[in-house]
């Protein structure tokens, strides 16, 4: 005879992602929505934060939340864990830096490598935890001492899986590129090397992607402005389907930390060939336009070009020149004052046209981290914006 409990339909197993809590318990976030499913410490001993699992709801906990039991692990999220190598009662373990991972990783004697006690290490998981055993791993990288300058960056890079090393194929392709623009590169390009294009970026910028130039012109019988915006021509060096292109697709962007940048492409390209550094020839793509006194674009064309940046400016320097025509910066860069004044005049025209269109302006306050020479954070300050920032934004 069937028992009564067998007549109650069991809720179907649900697929979701484990979200650990530093206090030992956790939840499964179901793919199909609905309430999160509570996991007790006992259930969490079988899984790790981020794992993809099938879970079965057994009932509710004392708070009325659905409580579940792990059926199986579909996908382990943590191939490598970052933590400190410690000795607990004669047993080597790595205590994860991410407190949502509530498992110390056992390190067998042969798995220590060259790591020393107390150091921050990367551990490859060899055996994952279950109800009867702890996770087991081996040290694959020693990051250094916990108090080393920049250690928080090293941890963050690995914790969030930021690609930070280029493959041999990517480095080989980058190293094969020339160090400078070649004569053969100029074929089919407009020569703008006699046009004093300038870059305007933050004081801490490490690469320069765009340059600008502006001058008054006559369009028919009306006064107008010629605006040239040049963008570094990455496509000349990064070809579709090649290792550099694949790496760029994978990374999608450069990642900026205080005192460190993890570039999307090797530095030979990002800080060299495709950075519009002053005083050197660079390949670029150009938007060459004519704008009237009402902010209407009368004509434009796009073309590949070669340029020679006349000056690297910072936003603050440009604003000092524009706001104080008799100040020291204006005197120092007297030859560029007409260019910067032209850019500012066009900016005000474009801004007025924007207001007339009823366009929405989103003003946000960015922050900057101020660190000492050892990399320790001293304070966080707002990054003040001025019209030099807005000028470049409007040109773009």
Domain CATH code at residue 119: 2.40.50.700
217 and 86 together in one domain: no
Residue that terminates a domain, selected from 75, 106, 126 = 75
- Measure the CA–CA gap between 210 and 230, rounded to whole angstroms: 5
Q: What is the pLDDT of residues 43-61, one digit of tens each?
A: 999 999 999 999 999 888 8
- Residue 165 falls within a domain, yes or no? no
At residue 11 the predicted structure's pLDDT band, cuts being 50, 70 and 90, is low
Q: Which residues contact 219 (CB under 8 A, 6 or more apart)?
A: 290, 292, 298, 299
Per the CB < 8 A criterion, the answer to whether 228 and 245 are in contact is: no
pLDDT at 166 over 60: yes
Residues 135 and 149 in one domain: yes
In a domain, 176, yes or no: no
Domain hosting 15: range is 10-75
Burial class (CB in 10 A: 0-12, 13-18, 19+), 346: buried
User: In terms of domains, do 119 and 191 share one?
Assistant: no
Residue 138 has pLDDT above 50, yes or no: yes
CA distance 256 to 263: 8
**CATH number for 16:** 2.40.50.140
Kindly state whether residues 391 and 298 are assigned to the same domain. yes
Please tell me the predicted confidence (pLDDT) of residue 264.
Answer: 94
- More confident call, 65 vs 373: 65
163 — pLDDT class (breaks 50, 70, 90): very high
167 located within any domain: no
Residue in 309, 274, 288 with CA at minimum distance from that of residue 185: 274
Q: Is residue 2 part of a domain?
A: no
Does residue 282 sit within a domain? Answer: yes
- Residue 343 above 90 pLDDT? yes
Q: Is residue 304 part of a domain?
A: yes
Residue 284 in contact with residue 193, Cβ under 8 Å? Answer: no
* pLDDT (0 to 100) of residue 147: 86
Query: Is pLDDT at 6 greater than 60 in this prediction?
Result: no
pLDDT confidence of residue 284: 98
d(CA 127, CA 221): 79
- Whole-angstrom Cα distance, residue 85 to residue 136? 13
Q: Are residues 291 and 262 in the same domain?
A: yes
Predicted pLDDT of residue 30 = 93
Per-residue confidence band for 3, with pLDDT thresholds at 50, 70 and 90: very low
Which of 269, 249, 239 is CA-nearest to residue 174? 269
pLDDT, residue 260, reads 84
Instruction: State how far the alpha carbon of 264 is from the alpha carbons of 40, 97, 205, in Å.
Output: 41, 26, 15
The chain-wide mean pLDDT, for the chain, equals 91
Same structural domain, 50 and 126: no
Q: What is the total count of domains within the chain?
A: 3
Residues 109 and 29 in one domain: no
Residue 168 belongs to a domain: no
Coil, strand or helix: which one is 242?
A: coil
Length of the chain: 396
In a domain, 372, yes or no: yes
Position 8 confidence tier, pLDDT thresholds 50, 70, 90:
very low
Residues 224 and 102 in one domain: no
**Contact at 8 Å (CB) between 179 and 277?**
no
pLDDT at position 302: 98
Task: Determine the average pLDDT of the residues in 144-159.
Answer: 88
Q: What is the pLDDT of residue 220?
A: 85
Of 126, 159, 192, the position where a domain reaches its end is 159
Angle, vertex CA 352, rays to CA 350 and CA 353, nearest 5: 65
| Co-location of 67 and 191 in the same domain | no
- Percent of the chain at pLDDT exceeding 90: 71
Q: Are residues 318 and 220 in the same domain?
A: yes
One DSSP character per residue, 250-301 reads HH-S-EEETTEEE-SS-HIIIIIITS--TTSEEEEEEEEEEEETTS-EEEEE
205 pLDDT band (50/70/90 cuts)? confident
Q: How confident is the model at residue 289 (pLDDT cuts 50, 70, 90)?
A: very high
- At 221-275, the pLDDT tens digits run 889 999 999 999 999 999 999 999 999 999 999 998 877 889 999 999 999 999 9
Task: Say which residue the tokens 């690995």 belong to.
Answer: 158
Nearest 5°: phi and psi at 27? -145, 155
Question: What's the CA gap between 30 and 94, in Å, rounded?
Answer: 30
User: What confidence score (pLDDT) does residue 49 get?
Assistant: 94
Please state, as a whole number, how many other Cβ atoms lie within 10 Å of the Cβ of residue 314.
Answer: 16
Distance CA(212)–CA(286), nearest Å, equals 10
Residue 146 CA from chain centroid, whole number = 24
SS3 state of residue 92: strand
Pair 52, 185 in one domain? no
pLDDT(341) > 90? yes
CB 43 within 8 A of CB 131: no
Do the strands 26-30 and 105-106 form a parallel or antiparallel pair, or are they unpaired? unpaired
**pLDDT band at residue 150, thresholds of 50, 70 and 90?**
confident
Name the pairing type of β-strands 105-106 and 91-96. Answer: antiparallel
* Across 13-17, average pLDDT: 91
The string of pLDDT tens digits covering residues 78-129 is: 999 999 999 998 899 999 999 999 889 999 989 988 999 999 999 999 999 9
Residues 304 and 206 in one domain: yes
Q: Are 313 and 200 in contact (CB under 8 A)?
A: yes
């Amino acid at each position: 005879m069937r028992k009564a409990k067998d007549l109650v339909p069991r809720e179907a197993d649900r697929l979701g992602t484990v979200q650990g809590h530093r206090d030992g318990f956790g939840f499964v976030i179901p793919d199909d929505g609905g309430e999160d499913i509570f996991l007790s410490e006992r259930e969490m001993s079988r899984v790790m934060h981020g794992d993809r699992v099938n879970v079965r709801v057994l009932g509710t906990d004392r708070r009325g939340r659905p409580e579940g039991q792990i059926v199986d692990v579909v996908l382990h999220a943590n191939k490598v864990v970052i933590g400190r190598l410690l000795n607990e009662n004669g047993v080597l373990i790595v205590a994860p830096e991410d407190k949502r991972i509530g498992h110390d990783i056992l390190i067998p004697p042969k798995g220590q490598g060259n790591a020393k006690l107390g150091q921050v290490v990367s551990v490859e998981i060899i055996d994952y935890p279950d109800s009867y055993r702890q996770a087991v791993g081996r040290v694959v990288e020693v990051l250094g001492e916990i108090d080393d300058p920049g250690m928080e960056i090293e941890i963050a890079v690995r914790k969030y899986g930021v690609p930070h090393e280029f493959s041999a194929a990517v480095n080989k392709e980058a190293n094969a590129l020339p160090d400078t623009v070649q004569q053969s590169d100029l074929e089919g390009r407009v020569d703008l090397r006699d046009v004093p294009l300038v870059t305007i970026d933050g004081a801490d910028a490490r690469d320069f992607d765009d340059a600008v130039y502006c001058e008054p012109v006559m369009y028919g019988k009306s006064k107008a402005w010629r605006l040239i915006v040049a963008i570094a021509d990455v496509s000349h060096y990064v070809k579709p389907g090649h290792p550099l292109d694949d790496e760029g697709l994978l990374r999608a962007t450069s990642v900026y930390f205080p005192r460190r940048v993890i570039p999307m492409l090797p530095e030979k390209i990002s800080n060299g060939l495709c950075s519009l550094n002053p005083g050197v020839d660079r390949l670029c793509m150009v938007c060459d336009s004519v704008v009237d006194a009402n902010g209407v674009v009368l004509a434009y064309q796009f073309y590949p070009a070669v340029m020679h940046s006349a000056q690297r400016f910072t936003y603050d320097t440009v604003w000092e020149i524009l706001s104080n025509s008799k100040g020291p910066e204006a005197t120092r860069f007297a030859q560029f004052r007409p260019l910067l004044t032209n850019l500012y005049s066009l900016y005000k025209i474009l801004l007025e046209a924007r207001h007339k269109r009823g366009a929405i302006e989103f003003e946000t306050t960015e922050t900057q981290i101020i660190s000492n020479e050892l990399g320790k954070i001293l304070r966080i300050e707002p990054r003040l914006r001025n019209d030099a920032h807005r000028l470049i934004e409007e040109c773009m």
